[in-house]
Amino acid sequence: MRTLSKTLLYILLGLLSLIFLIPIFYALYTSLLPLQYVDKIVPITKINLNNYITLFQKTEVVQWFFNTAIVTVLTVLGNVVLNTMAGYALAKFNFPGKKLIFMLVLASMMIPFQLIITPMYIMIAKLHLHNTLTGLIVPFMYNCLYIFMARQFFLTIPKEIEEAATIDGLNKAKTFFKIIVPLSGNIITTIVILNFTSTWNSYLVPATFISDKSKYLLVVGLRTVNDQFFTRPNLVMAGVILTTLPVLLLFLRYQKYFVQGIATTGIKG
């Protein structure tokens, strides 16, 4: 009886897994097929990378890929440096205004982004930052959620470590950069992973701030590829794979940190 119900459980989980895996394999497989073989099972010799080459020639997808990479890397860099510094100040320094700033960090997380995107766009346009990658990076170089997560992390570092550094003659700033940062791999990786994923996948902002096709990010470009080439699923799936593969690989390599990010934001908070 016990083994029977366990077997049933495995069958159920296996079937459910298929529902989650099939779309991913469908996209990968179709992206490798010539058009006449779409939705058919073919011998492995028929598959090739031609769709990717066609997509490179017919669209600016290579440019979009680099745009996305630049925006993502610079945004993540800003977020890691600025949010950990802010989080550290809120966790370990005593200064007037600390409580107020922390409250503002929490309150800011409650405002939905749709509320600020319109004035943000007006400002971006006035500064002539629309149709520039800068406009996609600078306003998003910090994030209150990550400040909060960093603060929670730094609170767990015992104060003896900082006291020892003070005795060794390090000032507060040096203590952070020389002693604390090397101990903070965990929170830094978590911020990198979460921020990389959300920046890479974001649609609303790049679709709004950018109208010049050569400045598109991948996700926005993918949508136009879907509109334009819908009758050629193999081409569109090549676009899907180009858009998702970097994030998928990052996830499979570092998934422990995705889970950790959830745990620190949700369960303990």
Closest distance of CB 184 from other proteins, Å:
14
User: Tokens for 191?
Assistant: 């911020």
# chain residues binding other proteins, by CB under 8 A: 85
Is 40 a residue that touches other proteins (CB under 8 A)?
no
Q: Which of 203, 213, 214, 253 binds other proteins (CB under 8 A)?
A: 203
Task: Indicate which single residue of 64, 88, 148, 154 sits in contact with other proteins (rule: CB under 8 A).
Answer: 88
Cβ proximity to other proteins, 56 vs 258, nearer residue: 258
Question: Do 51 and 28 contact (CB within 8 A), yes or no?
Answer: no
Quick one: 47 or 120, whose CB is closer to other proteins? 120
Residue 99 C-beta-side C-alpha neighbours within 13 Å: 1
Q: Which of 76, 80, 237, 238 binds other proteins (CB under 8 A)?
A: 237
> What is the closest distance, in whole angstroms, from the C-beta atom of residue 51 to other proteins in the complex?
14
Spatial separation of the C-alpha atoms in residues 238 and 78, rounded to whole Å: 31
Burial profile 85-116: b = 16 or more Cβ within 10 angstroms, e = fewer: bbbbbbbbeeeeeeeeeeeebeeeeeeeeeee
Residues 113-142 that bind other proteins (CB under 8 A): 114-123, 125, 138-142
The 8-class DSSP code of residue 132 comes to S
How many residues would you count in the chain? 269
Q: Using the minimum distance from each CB to other proteins, give the nearer residue, 55 or 233.
A: 233
